Structure 1
Amino acid sequence: MNACWLGSLEDRGDRRALIDGEISLSYKQVAQQARDLARSFMQSGITPGQVVIVHGNYSINSILALLALAAIKAIVAPVTNLTPSIEETLKVACDASFLVTALDDMTVVPLAGQSRHPLYRSLQQSGIAGLILLSSGSTGKPKAILHNLDNLIAEKDKQSRGRQLVVILFLMFDHIGGVNTLVNVLFSGNCAVVVRERTPERVCRELERHKVQVLPANPTFLNLIRLGDFHQRHDLSALRLITYGTEAMPLQLLVHLREIFPRVRLLQTFGTSETGIAGTQSTSSQSTRFKIVDDSFEYRIVEGELQLKSPGQFLGYLNVENTSLTADGWFRTGDLAESAGNGEIQILGRINDVINVGGEKVLPLEIEALLLSCPQVLDCVAYGVNNAITGQVVGVNIKPAYPISSDGLRRAVMDFLAGKLERYKMPVKIRKVDEIAVSERSKKKRNIEL
């Protein structure tokens, strides 16, 4: 076991590192417990280069398991929700050798896999820790994405500067945003607050309790805080920075967020599971435009699609053909974007979410941004509805701002949108709903009707 970064954690001594409920660990304790756990894992038969599933969510156990396995130079596959489909992918396609359950108790179960996938060879021969991330699997079986975990840690391992920040761990444990946040917080000497229940109520309670200064989240979750008035039920005055990503931000939602968090800086982040998270900069908290200021990232926009290239790019997919890279090595993000001048980028939405109305392209984000400023609309989601003549038409689900009949809501919405949208963009189907459906990753569900 040779992980010099454990030493850099230990050097930070009694500085707070992790808070999980009533338990608080210093950096020295984190390093020592990770070492002890690594020895225990090796006694259980885990060796460098083996694929190990870590089933857990944000908790001290899960974080220590990830650090310990990285120290062993294993290939770690963190999983929050171990569904049959995900379990099959990890056991069969990824050839996993062990399953570590890191919930309230820590258990190690040997599996039949021998970790022999050809993509593992470079990591195993060089004694490098690996990381497997799974896509959400919304279009079928999840893709298994292989990364160099040592590179990710090395990029974040830096000396502490200034006052320690308290950051809440909200983005998912098995998502690139969550892993990036965890590694960035620990290896920059800040303090991570664990949230086990990913609800607006619980998150805001922990923000108040620990005087959290940094909240990494996504637009849909921030909107849930707004809709439930959780920012008023809890004292969030310690917040200084909210970073948001994983989906495009409607401009009107950003306006609402500026109103309820007037003293908080809002910063859009950007990255993918395949390329990692880039450093970004916004002109202001009122802008949905951003610049990629990370020198290690390159970007270009080709036929409206944002493409990225980074040194921390994934090593490949373990279970599907790699068609996401161009012939010259650029990753196709699947995000529609436009250059906004001065090196700024504007994300318009996902290519797969575009509604095709008789050959005309409609962006759901444009419809939603308008509707969020309608007095009768509290929240909404736009999506495509199959149509025999035009292929698709625009549909919207709307959570009304106050009691109103379905017919009344439709009339109000159509009157509000009149003159603001081209005819083909106007909603044909308007459905009043009690709640807007959200996935377990806190994103709006758009595949409502195809």
Structure 2
Amino acid sequence: MIHFELIAPVGEILRRNARLYPEKLAFEDRRRSVSYRGLDSETRNLASQLIAMGLEQGQAVAIFLPNSVNWVVACLATVRAGGVAVPVSIESTEAELSYRVTDADCAFLVVPPEKRSMAEELVRRLDRSTLVVTEGDNADFHTQLEMPASSFEDDRDIDRPAYIVYTSGTTGQPKGVLLSTRSMLWVTAACWAPIAGLSEDDVVLNTLPLYHSYALNIAVLSIIATGASEYIMEKFSTSHATDLLRTGRFTFMPGVPTVFHYFLSACQKSGERLLSSVRLCVSAGAILPGSLNSEFEAFFAVPLLDGYGITETSTMVTMNWPGKWRVPGSCGLPLPGLGVRLVDPKTGLDVPVGTEGELICKGPNLMQGYHNKPQETQTAIVDGWYHTGDLARCDLNGFLTITGRLKELIIRGGQNIAPAEIEETILLLDAVMDCAVIGMPHAMLGEVPVACVVLKTSATLDQDDLIGHCKARLSAYKIPDRIYVVDEIPRPDQARSCE
């Protein structure tokens, strides 16, 4: 059931693929492609050069690049060199990048040419010795890819922290989740290979941002582990995805519910059923409405499997299997080999079947902890069980349905947003006395953040100025969709709405 043979050091996997599929396409983007032989060579050479430039075992490398082949090369090279890859969204503001570079204590920062001056200025301002390495049309990165690796030895420790993936929590700044190659590839071995059937025969169309744990798992590590091929979209757009799917190349498409919603809407309008070559679509990152699942499958005649996953478990916890035995609206069954319980949040005791409880889990895919946050780690992991903060129900057949959250995350189109992070940003304004950010239902995105703001006596605040203030400090998906100026903020002992 579990494909344990897929769990191996990154370098060993790449050498194996170079031997078995030397000329086979590994990854492609709109600028370039790389074969499995080339991927082995490029990552080995870049790893060797990172070590030559001073990267030491366990040091962090921030990957601040757009979705691309070069993103994959930089990430895998870092791991082969014994470093820790720190994915950072290319849309991050300077403040968000600064926090991650500082928190993860990054020794290197890999950036595109247009971000080099900003990155160097940031490093100077932080008074750090972080080295900035540029990809693209600057010579240094390509030189590293082409230089032969002399006396290079791959890092083979698959149990050390190899990735720090930042996830939003309820306490403001995101937490860095420490994940190993073993924990990540265990999800490949227990989920994507046996359940979704991902194999060397698949050609994947990736719509996901690679800095997410879901994408890092299914669209990078699972691709090389299974020997599949992949086209990487720099950003998802319905029109671009439509053009790509018209080629009939693709067999497998992962996404978040919003992607499938947009794609279905567009194809229903045009009347095109563009998934004739696709055997399977998979959804995670947010709850997939049962109605969308049914409508999608009825229109395209292609299975859309959904599951439940979180960064702290190297992504997937549950997954629906192919076939007719699925429960509408359910996120499926626990992965083989993973312990899942539903407990009363107050007593910690298991709840009866059909009763709502907090989902907790335990298994080989569990994180090693939050980077430099022992107290938060101790609170989240109790006796080896990770407490997700998500509420769920289980039916008699073991199918789980997510029903709500104990924690206050807002999930916008698959992107996790911590209300506290937005609140802290808004409270920097002198005119603001109090602020609360909540999630509001949205037909396409699931939820969007809205801000309720209390102004100081006699203070005024232009809403455009407030939005501009947020845009300068937060990624675009975190910007409040609406602003409400209110007299006071309802607290837990109050029942009034901020509207």
Q: TM-score of the superposition, structure 2-length normalised?
A: 0.64
Which runs of structure 2 are paired with 1:25-174 in the superposition (5 Å)?
25-81=34-90, 82-101=92-111, 111-112=128-129, 128=160, 130-136=162-168, 140-153=172-185, 156=188, 164-174=201-211
Give the Cα–Cα distance (whole angstroms) in 2 for the partners of residues 10 and 76 of structure 1: 23
Cross-structure match for 1:214: 252
Shift of 1:62: 0.7
Matches within 5 A, 1:39-438: 39-81=48-90, 82-101=92-111, 111-112=128-129, 128=160, 130-136=162-168, 140-153=172-185, 156=188, 164-181=201-218, 182-209=220-247, 211-229=249-267, 232=271, 235-261=274-300, 263-276=301-314, 277-278=316-317, 280-282=319-321, 283-284=324-325, 287-303=328-344, 304-320=357-373, 321-322=376-377, 324-352=379-407
1:371-401 deviation digits (Å, cap 9, x = unpaired): x8xxxxx998699998xxxxxxxxxxxxxxx
For residue 255 of structure 1, report the CA deviation from its aligned partner.
Answer: 2.8
State the alpha-carbon separation in 2 of the partners of residues 125 and 184 from structure 1: 18
Any idea what the Cα deviations from partners look like across 1:25-70, whole Å, max 9, x if unmatched? 2211111111111122223222221111111132111100111111
Letter in 2 for 1:145: V
Q: Is the 8 A contact 1:52 1:76 kept in 2?
A: yes
* Structure 1 residues 125 and 188, CA gap change in structure 2 (3 angstroms): closer
The residue type equivalent to 1:179 in the other structure is: L
CA contact 1:218–1:442 (8 Å) conserved in 2: no
Question: Contact 2:159–2:181 (CA<8 Å) still a contact in 1?
Answer: no
What is the CA-CA distance between 1:269 and the residue it aligns to?
A: 2.1
Structure of higher RCO (CA pairs closer than 8 Å, 6+ residues apart)? 2
Mapped partners of 1:354, 1:106: distance in 2: 33
Cα offset, 1:213, TM superposition: 1.5
Q: Deviations over 1:241-277 (max 9, x none)?
A: 111111112222223222322x201111222100122
Contact kept, 8 Å, 1:219 with 1:249, in 2: the verdict is yes
Q: Which runs of 5+ in 2 are unaligned?
A: 1-8, 132-154, 345-356, 411-438, 453-473, 485-497
Q: Distance in 2 between matches of 1:103 and 1:351?
A: 42
- Secondary structure of residue in 1 paired with 2:288: coil
Distance verdict in 2 for CA 1:29–1:167, change over 3 Å: same
Change (3 A) 1:290 1:150: closer
Asked whether the equivalents of residues 162 and 179 of structure 2 are also in contact (C-alpha less than 8 Å), the reply is: yes
Instruction: Give identity over the alignment, percent.
Output: 22
Q: Is the CA contact 1:96–1:112 (under 8 Å) kept in the aligned structure 2?
A: no
The SS at the match of 1:204 is: helix
Q: 1:8 aligns with which of 12, 16, 25?
A: 16
- Mark the CA change 1:6 to 1:161 in structure 2 (over 3 Å): closer, same or farther: same
Q: Deviations over 1:260-314 (max 9, x none)?
A: 22x2011112221001224623454672224435333111111322111121211
Measured in 2, the distance between the counterparts of 1:297 and 1:244 equals 20
The CA RMSD over aligned residues, in Å, is: 4.1
Q: 1:134 to 1:174 in 2, by over 3 A?
A: same
Following TM superposition, by how much is the alpha carbon of 1:113 offset from its aligned partner in structure 2, in angstroms?
A: 6.4
C-alpha contact 2:65 2:112 (8 A) present in aligned 1: yes
Q: 1:245 to 1:169 in 2, by over 3 A?
A: same
- Pairs aligned (count): 372
CA distance in 1, matches of 2:255, 2:159: 34
| Counterpart residue type for residue 130 of structure 1 | A
| Deviation sequence 1:380-435 (CA, Å, 0-9, x none) | 8699998xxxxxxxxxxxxxxxxxxxxxxxxxxxxxxxxxxxxxxxxxxxxxxxxx
